[in-house]
């Protein structure tokens, strides 16, 4: 039975999971949801994911939520090519990088900066956005340090750690160039100058065949 993958275009959580699906060349049935039409809150979808969040992966009666959990599940089902390392030490480091990013970088980038700016909250939440931007810069400096000495976040090979981080960084880079972000002086409009190692890492991910296949469809016309 084919996997059914429920996702939203532009959602970093959906994006990282789709990167894993495409990287491993796993066949799946795409179930794109439009949250503006309430499609993530229908009784049918809530039966799969009671929180009404994305992504969700269904394989017959088995359903798994949460993007990193889905990636870990897919790794067990399709271990080659590996995204969580070939050895215990590699797996431990990859999981460390994933959890470091999730715990210390994702929230300020996504919930603190990117989403409020997309929702037009620059005028009503300026102080909160600026505070989260400072935390985002701290996270980018951490990434810069790692990527100065190695091509990927957990070493010399692309891994689930990179797929965890790249959607959030791309989302942040996209909104960081907006008029609202520039007016708030967040310093996110020129990541290439501020974080050259991060800026070299981004095209390494973009050059993977899976990247183009997983790229958010509604972003294509505004590249």
What does the pLDDT look like over 161-176, one tens digit per residue? 999 999 999 999 999 9
Predicted pLDDT at 160? 99
Predicted pLDDT at 220? 80
For the cut 90, the answer to whether the pLDDT of residue 222 exceeds it is no
What does the pLDDT look like over 136-160, one tens digit per residue? 999 999 999 999 999 999 999 999 9
For the cut 80, the answer to whether the pLDDT of residue 129 exceeds it is yes
Q: Please check whether residue 86 is in contact with residue 29, taking contact to mean a CB–CB distance below 8 angstroms.
A: no
Could you give the percent of the chain with pLDDT greater than 70? Answer: 98
Q: N- to C-terminal Cα distance for the chain?
A: 36
In 40-195, which ranges are continuous DSSP H helix?
A: 43-48, 67-77, 88-101, 107, 115-118, 126-149, 160-176, 179-183, 191-194
Round to whole Å and give the CA distance between 8 and 174. 17
For the cut 80, the answer to whether the pLDDT of residue 12 exceeds it is yes
Residue ranges and CATH numbers for the domains of the chain are: 3-77 (3.40.30.10), 88-222 (1.20.1050.10)
Predicted pLDDT at 223? 55
Task: Kindly state the average pLDDT of the residues 6-18.
Answer: 97
Predicted pLDDT at 218? 86
Exposure string over 3-21, b if 16+ CB within 10 A, otherwise e = bbbbbbbbbbbbbbbbbbb
For the cut 60, the answer to whether the pLDDT of residue 114 exceeds it is yes
The pTM (predicted TM-score) of the whole model is: 0.96
């Amino acid at each position: 039975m084919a996997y059914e993958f429920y996702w939203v275009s532009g959602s970093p959580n959906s994006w990282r999971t789709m990167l894993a699906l495409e990287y491993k060349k796993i066949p799946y049935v795409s179930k794109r949801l439009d949250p503006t039409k309430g499609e993530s809150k229908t009784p049918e979808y809530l039966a799969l994911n009671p929180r009404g969040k994305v992504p969700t992966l269904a394989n017959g009666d088995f359903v798994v939520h949460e993007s990193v959990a889905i990636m870990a599940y897919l790794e067990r089902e399709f271990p080659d090519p590996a995204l969580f390392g070939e050895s215990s030490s590699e797996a431990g480091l990859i999981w460390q990088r994933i959890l470091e990013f999730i715990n210390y970088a994702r929230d300020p980038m996504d919930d603190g900066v990117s989403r409020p700016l997309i929702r037009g909250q620059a005028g009503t939440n300026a102080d909160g956005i600026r505070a989260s931007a400072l935390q985002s810069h701290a996270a980018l400096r951490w990434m810069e340090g790692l990527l100065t000495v190695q091509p990927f976040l957990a070493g010399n090979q692309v891994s689930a750690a990179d797929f965890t981080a790249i959607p959030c960084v791309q989302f942040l880079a996209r909104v960081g160039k907006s008029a609202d972000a520039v007016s708030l002086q967040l310093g996110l409009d020129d990541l290439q100058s501020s974080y050259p190692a991060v800026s070299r890492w981004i095209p390494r991910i973009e050059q993977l065949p899976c990247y183009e296949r997983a790229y958010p469809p509604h972003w294509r016309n505004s590249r």
